[in-house]
Structure 1
Amino acid sequence: MPRPTGAPAALAARDWGMLVAVALMWGSSYYFILLGLEAFPPATVAWLRLLLGVAVLLCVPAARAPLRRRRDLGPTAVLGLTWMAVPFLLFALAQQEIASALAGMVNGAAPLFTAAIATVWLRQRPDRALVVGLVVGFVGVVLLGLPNVDGRASGLGLLMVLLATFLYGVSFNLTGVLQARNGALSVILRAEIVAMLVLTPFGAPGLVGARPGVAVVLAMLALGALGTGLAFVLFTSLVGRVGAPRASITTYLVPVVSLVLGAGLAGERVALLSLAGVALVLVGAWLASGRRRSPA
């Protein structure tokens, strides 16, 4: 059973910068996906973002370096399935059955899954401040998305989002172990290649007959280079610095970014309850970011 390489530390200024940068890139991804869906089916959008993310990472020499431990090739391939290929496809399918806001609320449970899995798998018992922060943040995510739920939900759609969120919790813990042994860039590149190959039969056919405009092309480039390239590298590095449970609080900030972009770019109405949710999300993130120091 894998064990952590060291106790996770509280977030420093650099860690907060990485966390906010990832939240901005992943939060804006929803807007870019919305633009991409104007020209491509969901599976093609998921496949194209991986294709472009891989292309960006291949330009970085450190990413092309081989894994330091060949035995980690298998777990890295599993990471590509659990973090990218399967969840990307599950969310695309689920959002045909349930509202996007409801999907985002369920996805807000990712930090809770991450902390629970870290406790069982890596035997990292979270401190009280982390648990309180995660719970407060999740309540904030629910309040943030609740005004946008239209009441129509498929049980199968909810199950698919819940499974994808659980896989995120597994992946957030697995990536820390692999990154510590091999480096973030090498791990992410190989995981994305596996995910891209798995989704190719589902995504490539969607290119036939597609006529994307300039806005769609730019959106897909940003989604691939930033949301699927740089963001994954920064998040993996953050997991190695502060541990998976604390790094996963970036998931709580993603809906906040989406809400701001939706109001600013798409002209969506922001409910008072959503603003209360934003406040709770920020409080939860602050609580979860601290840690009682113990002697080495």
Structure 2
Amino acid sequence: MPAHRLSHWLLLTCLVILWGSAFAFAKIAVETVAPEWTMAGRLLTGAALLLTCLLVAGTRLPRNGRAWGWLIALALVGNIAPFFTISWGQQHISSALAGILIGFTPLATLLIARAFVPGEFITPFRLAGFIVGFAGLAIVVGPGALLDVVTASGGDARLAQGAVLAGAFFFACNNVMARLVPDMPLLAKSSGVMLAGALMGTVIASTMTPPTALLEASAASLLGVAGLGIFSTGLAAIVFFRLIDRAGPTFVSLTNYLVPVFAALTGYLVFGEELRAGVLGGFALILAGIALSEWRHNNGR
């Protein structure tokens, strides 16, 4: 695979910002909006945005069953399944521990991509870089999270860890599936996935909580849902599929190391949350890991 271009790194940075901002938007949204409607609302808003762009661009949604089979599968694997398993898991374990477990996504992506995506190789530099990056993530979320993996007791805690790990696996599968999806226009692909996810997410949310509950939501929370939909879901989907097509799933999976750092910085700047010194040290280690994983591009396999 050729060396990653500057445009790839810019798209990766953009995706980290869009996904990283989701934590701030979600914190505002869930104050008065149920988690299931936060999920459905972000998908509905993202779908509305992308379908509008689709109409303006004069592009059509796919019209064959095979394409829609892929789009529905991507919506299930990339949105519905991980959102559900991770949300359930976070009811029983800390956010820091969840962050550690989701950090397995890049390693899982590396293994799956090696089997299904031509040109994706597991090199010593790449494997070492991902391990160093994971160590940096562990420092960012705090060493206590690693201890929780070992000391967690009770069936719910163990099942919760498994649920979050399942979410990480779903994300990894989605990274690879997005690269293998049949060729179609970028807007058609991202809009189709978002529409399928919005329809399924709305059905799921409606069975859990009546839609009338949204009438009691505050304006701030509704704006938080809108921010999630517009930036962290709709626009992020366009950037995600573009980057997957140009740079591959393993490169995109590096976002799972960088997003927690951006989220911590956002929490500090927007909400005045404590910024631990370990965040900056962990970030430096993550960057070192990324540099190591990309070393192969300049020095051969």
Normalising by structure 1, we get a TM-score of 0.89
1:272 maps onto 2:277 in alignment: yes
CA contact (8 A) 1:10 1:290 kept: no
Hey, what does 1:102 align to over in structure 2? Answer: 97
Indicate if the aligned counterparts of 1:90 and 1:160 stay in contact, CA closer than 8 A: yes
SS of corresponding position for 1:57: helix
Structure 1 distance, partners of 2:62, 2:129, is 35
Cα offsets for 1:241-261 (capped at 9, x unmatched)? 111101211221101101101
SS, match of residue 51 in structure 1: helix
For residue 5 of structure 2, the aligned residue among 12, 22, 33 is 12
**Residues 132-153 of structure 1: CA distance to partner in whole angstroms, max 9, x if unpaired?**
2211111111111125749485
**C-alpha contact 1:140 1:279 (8 A) present in aligned 2:** yes
- Aligned counterparts of 1:217 and 1:64: Cα–Cα separation in 2: 30
Secondary structure class of the residue paired with 1:208: helix
1:194 corresponds to: 196
Q: What is the CA deviation profile of residues 21-51 of structure 1, one whole-angstrom value per residue up to 9, with x for unaligned ones?
A: 1101111101111111101111111110000
Q: Secondary structure at the match of 2:171?
A: helix
Structure 2 CA distance for partners of 1:229 and 1:132, relative to 1, 3 Å: same
Shift of 1:107: 0.9
Structure 1 residue 100, shift from structure 2 partner: 1.3
* Structure 2: distance between partners of 1:102 and 1:262: 18
Q: Which residue of 2 aligns with 1:235?
A: 240
Could you say which residue in structure 2 is the equivalent of 1:223? 228
1:209 is matched with 213
Can you give the 5+ residue segments of structure 2 that lack an aligned partner in the other structure?
A: none
Correspondent of 2:123 among 119, 122, 127: 127
Q: How does 1:1-296 map to 2 (within 5 A)?
A: 7=1, 9-61=2-54, 62=57, 64-67=59-62, 70-122=65-117, 124-147=120-143, 149=145, 151=148, 153=152, 154-178=157-181, 181-204=183-206, 205-210=209-214, 211-292=216-297
The Cα offsets for residues 56-104 of structure 1, whole Å up to 9 and x where unpaired, read as 0001125852338652321221111000011111122111111112111
Which segment is superposed worse, 68-77 or 18-27?
A: 68-77
Against the structure 1 CA distance between its residues 97 and 257, is the aligned structure 2 distance closer, same or farther, given a 3 Å change threshold? same
How many residues get paired? 287
Q: What is the letter of the counterpart of residue 166 of structure 1?
A: F
Q: Which amino acid aligns with 2:180?
A: V
Shift of 1:213: 2.5
Distance 2:296 2:210 in 1: 47
In structure 2, C-alpha distance between the alignment counterparts of 1:27 and 1:125, rounded to whole Å: 28
Q: CA RMSD in A?
A: 2.3
CA distance in 2 between counterparts of 1:156 and 1:209 reads: 30
Q: Take 1:194 and 1:209, find their aligned partners in 2: how far apart are those partners?
A: 23
Counterpart of 1:208, as a letter, is: T
Alpha-carbon spacing, 1:241–1:294, altered in 2? closer, same or farther (3 Å):
farther
Q: TM-score, normalised by structure 2?
A: 0.87
Q: Which residue identity lines up with residue 108 of structure 1 in the other structure?
A: G
Structure 1 portions without partners, runs of 5+: 1-6
Q: Secondary structure at the match of 1:265?
A: helix
